[in-house]
Amino acid sequence: MTDTDGQSPRERYRALVRAEIKERAWEQIATAGVPALSLNAIAKQVGMSGPALYRYFASRDDLLTELIRDAYRSLADTVRAAAASGTDPAGLARVFRDWALADPQRYFLIYGTPVPGYQAPAETTAISAEVMAVLLETCGAVATGGPATPFDTHLETHRDWAGDSELPATALHRALSFWTRLHGVLSLELAGHFTGMDIDPALLFEDEVTSLLTP
Tell me: the pLDDT tens digits for 71-109?
A: 999 999 999 999 999 889 999 999 999 999 999 999 999
Our separate counts of H helices and E strands in the chain read 10, 0
Confidence of residue 114 (pLDDT cuts 50, 70, 90): confident
pTM greater than 0.85 (yes/no): yes
For the beta carbon of residue 50, count every other beta carbon within 10 angstroms. 13
- List the end-to-end C-alpha distance of the chain, in Å, as a whole number: 62
Q: How far apart are CA 104 and CA 109, in angstroms?
A: 9
Kindly list the structural domains of the chain, giving each domain's residue range(s) and its CATH number in brackets, ordered by start.
1-58 (1.10.10), 71-213 (1.10.357.10)
Residues 39-79: tens digit of each pLDDT: 999 999 999 988 899 999 999 999 999 999 999 999 999 99
